[in-house]
Amino acid sequence: MEFSNRLQRLPEQFFARLVRNVQQAVSEGRDVINLGQGNPDQPTPAHIVKALQESAENPVTHKYSPFRGTRELKEAAAAFYKREYAVDIDPKTEVAVLFGAKAGLVELPLCVMDEGQLMLLPDPGYPDYLSGTALAGVRYETMPLTEDNGFLPDYGAIPAESREEAKLLYINYPNNPTGATADAAFFDDTVAFAKQHDIGIVHDFAYGAIGFDGAKPPSFLQAEGAKEVGVELYTLSKTYNMAGWRIGFAVGNPQIIEALNLIQDHLYVSLFPAVQHAAAEALTGSQQAVDELVALYERRRDTLMREAARIGWHFEAPHGSFFAWLPVPERFTSVEFADYLLKEADVAVAAGSGFGSGGEGYVRVGLLVDEDRISEAMRRIEKLGLFKKG
């Protein structure tokens, strides 16, 4: 039986190719330092694991979860936003529980767009945004994120016809892959742009907890009028090292939230109740582990900056997320450089072009190995003689 046209439209899974390349090298007995991954390397905090264990022992959690998630988790999400961002969220109408933020990002075009309609996506951007466009059969245009503009989209540069035609727009700060952050003024401009052109906004806030140099990344929903035009998607994967737990939530505009809840009514019953209980504990319990995690990533970032500068590889320091965005030497494409580092130095990085044409000329480096391994990776690259010191 042939795949449907819908599946045939799906883009190649960029990260699957990256994983295959690394696994092949490891299978050959090579000591690969994997700076290309986006998988948190630290364990889930013990108090969250304990909450899951205790809840899983309760037979009540063995039944189907309530459609649209547990009241406990939705109230925890609202309490989290009130504590962290001073944003009021109605847990009944402004929270959708998600099977990880990725699921929501892929579902949203299916929820609020018709085939052939237009959405606007950042370039470079998270590759799985394209999965949603393919499954929904919608068109997309990209908004270039350039270093000159702080890796923020320039709304004024979007063609007038596209501004009027677009139905949905995705943004993501702290940003994957560039590590850039946005300020409150940018989100105010985004709300104004959305209202002027009747565009729904989706803010992918996956790295919301991870800001450096004492700066806390703002929430899109802190902008006045944000809930009138859009939603924000939050995942527990990065903040609490719960990547394999597959749990997140969307908050904001009640109509968009209802659309997400409605499609999920038909796709799932909901997540395992014990996982939802553990997520509520993560959101409302002690945040000490989060503070320690951010400090760990900042130390790793500083190590990367210091060691890269020492070998002559210079780049803008990331202000958030656990990624850095590094330029490639002029004689390489992004893919060629990533392949070269894996072959010649046993160092894996993610080719920037995998995040869109705007990523050509860069590679993404993750801060997801310890400082000694980051330093070793830079020493290996130094031996290749690619950069001029001084």
Q: What percent of the chain has pLDDT over 90?
A: 94
What is the CATH code of the structural domain delimited by 46-284? 3.40.640.10
145-195 tens-digit pLDDT: 999 999 999 999 999 999 999 999 999 999 999 999 999 999 999 999 999
pLDDT at 109 over 70: yes
201 token code pair: 């906004």
Q: Provide the strand spans (E) within 215-274.
A: 230-235, 248-252
pLDDT of res. 390? 66
pLDDT at 351 over 80: yes
Residues 6+ apart with CB under 8 A from 115: 136, 137, 138
Name the CA radius of gyration of the chain, rounded. 21
pLDDT of res. 355? 96
**What residues pair up with 320 in beta bridges, in sequence order?**
211
Question: Is the backbone peptide bond immediately before 318 cis, with ω within 30 degrees of 0?
Answer: no
Residues 6+ apart with CB under 8 A from 284: 76, 79, 80
60 token code pair: 């009540």
Instruction: Give the range among 8-17, 47-56, 228-237, 305-314 with minimum mean pLDDT.
Output: 8-17
pTM of whole model > 0.85? yes
Helix (H, G, I), strand (E, B) or coil at 201: strand
- Across the beta sheet with 95-98, what order do the strands follow? 95-98, 248-252, 230-235, 200-204, 166-171, 118-123, 139-144
pLDDT at 120 over 90: yes
Instruction: Give the range among 35-39, 45-49, 80-84, 157-161 with minimum mean pLDDT.
Output: 35-39
Based on the number of CB atoms within 10 Å of its own CB, is 209 exposed (0-12), middle (13-18) or buried (19 or more)?
buried
Q: Distance (Å, rounded) from C-alpha 201 to C-alpha 171? A: 8
pLDDT at 37 over 70: yes
Within 10 angstroms of residue 248's Cβ, the number of other Cβ atoms is 26
127-140 tens-digit pLDDT: 999 999 999 999 99
276-309 tens-digit pLDDT: 999 999 999 999 999 999 999 999 999 999 999 9
Instruction: Give the range among 5-14, 253-262, 348-357 with minimum mean pLDDT.
Output: 5-14
What is the CATH code of the structural domain delimited by 5-43+288-382? 3.90.1150.10
Each domain of the chain, given as residue ranges in start order, spans 5-43+288-382, 46-284
Q: Is the sign of the CA dihedral 125, 40, 289, 57 positive or negative? A: positive
pLDDT of res. 29? 95
